[in-house]
Amino acid sequence: MSGEFGYAKIMGRRDEIIKASLGIDYSQYANGALAFDYERLLSDTGYTIDQVRVVQRRTAVGDTPLLELENITALVRAVAQPGKGARIFVKDEAANPSGSFKDRRAALAVREAKSRGHVGVAAATSGNFGAAVASQAAKAGLRCVVVQEAFDSRGIAQPEIAEKTRACEAYGAEVIRVSVGPELFFVFLGVLEESGFFNASLYTPYSILGIETLGYELAQQVQQQCGRYPDLVIATHAGGGNLTGTARGLKQAGALDTGVIAASVDLAGLHMASDHDFNRKSFTTGHTGFSMPFTTWPDRADVPRNAARPLRYMDRFVTVTQGEVFYITQVLAELEGLERGPAGNTSLAAAFAIARELDRDRIVVVQETEYTGAGKHPLAQLNLAKQLGIEVRRGDPRDSKPGQNIVIPECPSQIAVADIDLDQVRRSYLRNAIESLPEGVRLNEVDIEFLAAETRSSQDYVEEVIDEMS
């Protein structure tokens, strides 16, 4: 597989390899130039939410606790205007076997792999999903290979990624570590073809259905504890599956009026595929380097049709700074006695800021936590940043410049969110959609209807924006 010939040969068989490793013929769902039958893609898996919950319970996944953060809520109220300061709850997904919500998607993928007769599963990820797949594969007696984008050209790996390598290997997985760039998908396709393992992709229907149980449980737990559904659920947003699955689960539970907010770490100006920028970020997920591209064009994924469609489900999209997330991580540990990893604390930082503006009787839920470890601890990430010449200081987080400095708040009142203009995001999505069309291909009415659903807008809006672009 080495050399240009090997790369071209493997990439040329991409769709064939993906189909063999998943058993899904994506072409059958196409019903327009751009449109595809999204709901049928999900429903054809044959899993209802109740069946998914049964699968997950067999391996101790799900049914995680919902915790009210009373001390953090008190701190919010201390820096809010009179009568303001919503109650903040958190769904403690660190209670799952490998320590994150990604056990939910891994449980279903591994179950599907075993039922189809595969002897192993493979995943391409630098994050918690690899550990989740490895954990579930161990439970099922399957082999596991994780292909991990791990280091830059100098061989420097972020401590958080190294921590995740350790976790995958602890569960018995083989970890193939590659450098930043296009090599990841090429190597992953080669692993799938050579091994015959099941493709535990982050972007398949199984992945989204696995996360639906999180939103479903969350809604039920808030209803039981508070007598009503939450007003807002805030999800850390990267590739889109976390938000998509949670929002769908909320709706299935009946929480139709609950607002869904996407929260990402602002890494504007840093390019995730850049060897130079790869280690100049202190977060490996939940940041704008993933969330913006996947929101404006989800089908950049490793499957032909991504089941994560975040723009369909978000009511608001906000960002926080790296320093604010580091700050709230320490607040969570010192005020609530919960030491948790960085990803979920992105949405907690956003929740802290948003709760300050809401009435005290409102309910805000942070929908996940993740386990922590030596490499995930803020000090490990901050030490690497300093070694790379990034300034770390206390001050106003609004002065942050990703890749140049990390500004940690001096007091909690400085924590704030920056809103991303969803109209601009919708326009970017539509521009990407039009540019993806082969020359001479025109949109039909089904395509316009599909694009309206994709952007949570109307057919008139879609047609108007497309006319502006032509």
Tracing tokens 């975040």 back to the chain, one arrives at 310
Residues 321-343 have a mean pLDDT of 97
Bigger pLDDT: 272 vs 106: 106
Sequence-distant (6+) residues with CB within 8 A of 91 are 64, 65, 66, 67, 214, 217, 218, 221, 365, 366, 367, 368, 369
Sign of the four-CA dihedral 25, 28, 32, 38: negative
Domains of the chain: 3-55+100-202 (3.40.50.1100), 57-98+206-419 (3.40.50.1100), 436-469 (no CATH)
**Helix segments in 254-336, DSSP class H:** 288-296, 322-336
pLDDT of residue 60: 98
pLDDT score of 4: 44
| pLDDT given at position 167 | 95
Q: What integer is the mean pLDDT of 251-267?
A: 98
pLDDT at residue 362, rounded to an integer: 98
pLDDT over threshold 60, residue 1: no
Q: In this model, does residue 38 exceed pLDDT 60?
A: yes
Share of the chain above pLDDT 90, in %: 88
User: Residue 455 is encoded by which pair of tokens?
Assistant: 């952007």
Average the pLDDT over 313-341 and give the result.
97
What tokens were used for 371? 């386990």
Q: Per residue in 389-443, pLDDT tens? A: 999 999 999 999 999 999 999 999 999 999 999 999 999 999 999 999 999 899 9
Q: What is the mean pLDDT of residues 55-81?
A: 98
Q: pLDDT (tens digit, 9 = 90+) per residue, 77-118?
A: 999 999 999 999 999 999 999 999 999 999 999 999 999 999
pLDDT of residue 374: 86
- CA-based torsion, 93, 94, 97, 100: positive or negative: positive
CA-based nearest residue to 90, from 310, 370, 372 = 370
| Mean per-residue pLDDT over the chain, rounded | 95
* pLDDT at residue 3, rounded to an integer: 44
Mean pLDDT of 1-30: 83
- Residue spans of beta strands (DSSP E) within 295-440: 316-320, 363-366, 391-395, 405-409, 418-419
Question: Within 10 Å of residue 463's Cβ, how many Cβ atoms?
Answer: 14
pLDDT at residue number 411? 97
450-454: long-range contacts, CB 8 A cutoff, minimum separation 24: 450/32, 450/34, 450/35, 450/36, 451/34, 451/35, 453/38, 453/312, 454/309, 454/311, 454/312, 454/429
- The segment with the largest mean pLDDT, out of 2-16, 263-277, 356-370, is 356-370
Q: How far apart are alpha carbons 74 and 270 in whole angstroms?
A: 36
Task: Please answer whether residues 69 and 33 qualify as being in contact, where contact means their C-beta atoms are separated by less than 8 angstroms.
Answer: no
Residue 360 C-alpha from the chain's centroid: 29
Determine phi and psi for 110, rounding to 5 degrees.
-70, -40
CB 53 within 8 A of CB 330: no
Write the CB contacts of 422 (distance below 8 Å, at least 6 apart in sequence).
311, 314, 316, 317
Q: Nearest-CA neighbor of 124 among 194, 211, 189? A: 189
Q: Which residue has the higher pLDDT, 182 or 31?
A: 31
pLDDT at 194 over 80: yes
Quick check: 328 and 349 in contact, CB under 8 A? yes
Res 340 pLDDT > 60: yes
> For residue 402, what are its two tokens?
């990703």
Strands (E) located in 185-279: 198-199, 232-236, 259-265
Lowest mean pLDDT of 178-182, 204-208, 217-221, 301-305, name the range.
178-182
Average pLDDT over residues 31-53: 97
Among 28-32, 132-136, 189-193, 275-279, which stretch is predicted with the lowest mean pLDDT?
Answer: 275-279
Taking only Cα atoms into account, the Rg of the chain, rounded to an integer number of angstroms, comes to 21
